[in-house]
Structure 1
Amino acid sequence: MKTFLALSALLCLAGCVTAPKALQGEYADLGPGQAAKAGAAGERVRWGGRIVKVEPLATQSCFEVVGVRLAADGRPLARDHSQGRFLACRSGFYEPEIFQPGREVTLTGVIEGFEQRKVGDYDYRYPRLAADVVYLWPERRQVDVIVERAPFYW
């Protein structure tokens, strides 16, 4: 009975999932890989994924991100499927020790163009996002759940 109540409460809460206010809005249904192929400059998008690196420059910081699908709340989903890499730059300094490789981030902004860079020896075409929001998600913690069961008697 406790398990049923817990699952019911969890399902009710899952129906209430919304994106943080900073990530809400209307965005093109377009992934980074699709944008690079289509040359979709000027589109307003919400993309997220895992940080590869952050480059603090004189007036802005630029993020290289491996893009993945986003959940309803805007948080990046599975690690085993990429929607393509992208670059996103925003004015100001973003501390590389906080925005470390592997951290989950969601960004919103307008695709301002494309850049050719190398990924290893591979020439890769990155869509470049002029970011207006950089949302760093709290780190996920692995939790062990122990379910006690009533003893089973024959």
Structure 2
Amino acid sequence: MRNRLVPLLIRLTLPAALLVLAACAPAPIYKTAGNAPLATPAQVAQTPERYSGNEVVWGGRIVHVSNFQDYSEIEVLGYPLDSSQRPRANDSGGGRFIAVLRGYVEPLDYPAGALMTVDGKLNGTRAGKVGEADYLFPLVDVARSHVWTAEEMGKGRSNVRFGVGVGVGIR
């Protein structure tokens, strides 16, 4: 009887444990339209006419902030987003884009190197440069933006690691 009970307990507790771990992840911050394209900035730059006017939720690392008379632009190195719409900065970049925000943006609130997520509509492209190389930047008219803190980036991530072998971890 005991031999039958152990597999039954594992089958009952494993799904519950996985559900608890999944519930720890924060929910996405922006609700997306069901028809929003899952294209990267690099893909949009290749065929911008295909995506013009579509809603996107993109994120990445802030490169530079420029302020103009009535609007501001934030150049972003795009990264894939996790299920909570946080940029996964340890993945390879998916191209650059320019987030266009109405009004003045305080550069100290959007510091170079910080991670951010934007929700907005694609509005064409603009030629520019990355270093000395020519580059085509997709433009996103931003409806909402969020700069992630280190604390927010760490939330919902399990400190439990599975593996075989011996290791020492210091945080």
TM (norm. structure 2) is: 0.71
Distance in 2, matches of 1:135 and 1:14, equals: 23
Conserved in 1, the CA contact under 8 Å of 2:80 and 2:91? Answer: no
Q: Which has more strand, going by share of residues?
A: 1
Given the superposition, is the C-alpha separation of residues 10 and 104 from structure 1 closer, same or farther in structure 2, using an over 3 Å criterion?
Answer: farther
Largest Rg, 1 or 2: 2
Match of 2:40 in 1: 31
How many residues get paired?
134
Distance in 1, matches of 2:85 and 2:101, equals: 19
Distance in 2, matches of 1:129 and 1:18, equals: 23
Conserved in 2, the CA contact under 8 Å of 1:109 and 1:131? Answer: yes
Distance in 1, matches of 2:103 and 2:19, equals: 40
Given the superposition, is the C-alpha separation of residues 91 and 72 from structure 1 closer, same or farther in structure 2, using an over 3 Å criterion?
Answer: same
Match of 2:166 in 1: none
Structure 2: gaps (5+ residues):
1-15, 160-171
Match of 2:60 in 1: 49
Match of 1:97 in 2: 108
- AA matched with 1:12: V
User: What does residue range 2-151 of structure 1 map to in structure 2 within 5 Å?
Assistant: 12-15=20-23, 16-20=25-29, 23-26=30-33, 27-39=36-48, 40-140=51-151
Conserved in 1, the CA contact under 8 Å of 2:61 and 2:89? Answer: no
- AA matched with 1:51: I
Structure 1: gaps (5+ residues):
1-7, 146-154
RMSD: 2.1
State the 1:10 CA deviation.
Answer: 8.7
Distance in 2, matches of 1:130 and 1:64, equals: 13
